[in-house]
Amino acid sequence: MSSRNRTRETEAELNITSFMNLMVILIPFLLLNAVFTQVAVLQVSLPKADGAPSANEPKKTLVLEVMVYADRFIVADRQTGPMKIIPNLEDGKDFKSLNDYLREVKVQYPLVNEATILLEPETEYDVLIQTMDAVRIVESDATGTMAKYALFPEVGIGDAPADPQKGGAAR
């Protein structure tokens, strides 16, 4: 018989041992890391375009605004005007004084949970975040251990009116 007639049959053997070892290690690793990987989401609302409350909302006693300018903070009530001006310190923004004043405001208006932060266009992101923290949270050690409590947790973000000290029009 010739060699052409002979068919050579060979079985290819797949060795998937190393792949299975990889899966045995990888799957539990991914499952464990999925538990620890959580994204912090901060709920932020934008102010209404017209600035007025809707028809079905009752008028609130305080509509708190924190305006962030290059050289100061202005804490204001949208309905009555500025409440306090907090100038910058020599080394930057005075977030502690802002937080302390907002704590006093919260004592006067305990039911108000909303605040709007109004920023100049060139405000740095870090200043925005630190301002949001100063508006949202107060740290207290009244119980003997440091704890965080909510001041005005519902934060809105918007554009600040033109700075009146720089020759812009006041609101």
Amino acid at 144: G
Question: To the nearest 5 percent, what fractions of the chain are helix, strand and coil?
Answer: 30, 25, 45
**Per-residue pLDDT at 105:** 92
pTM of the model: 0.62
**Per-residue pLDDT at 139:** 84
For residues 170 and 12, give the distance between their C-alpha atoms in angstroms, rounded to a whole number. Answer: 83
For residues 79 and 58, give the distance between their C-alpha atoms in angstroms, rounded to a whole number. Answer: 14
Locate all alpha helices (DSSP H) within 13-52, ordered by sequence.
17-36
**Per-residue pLDDT at 52:** 54
Amino acid at 84: K
**Per-residue pLDDT at 169:** 47
**Per-residue pLDDT at 48:** 63
Mind listing the pLDDT tens digit for each residue in 102-127?
Answer: 999 999 998 999 999 999 988 899 99
**Per-residue pLDDT at 147:** 80
Locate all alpha helices (DSSP H) within the chain, ordered by sequence.
17-36, 95-108, 125-136
Burial of 87 (0-12, 13-18, 19+ CB in 10 A): exposed
Q: Any idea where the domains of the chain sit in the sequence? A: 44-163
The list of the chain residues with pLDDT below 70 reads: 1-9, 35-43, 45-60, 167-171
CATH 3.40.390 fits 44-163, yes or no: no
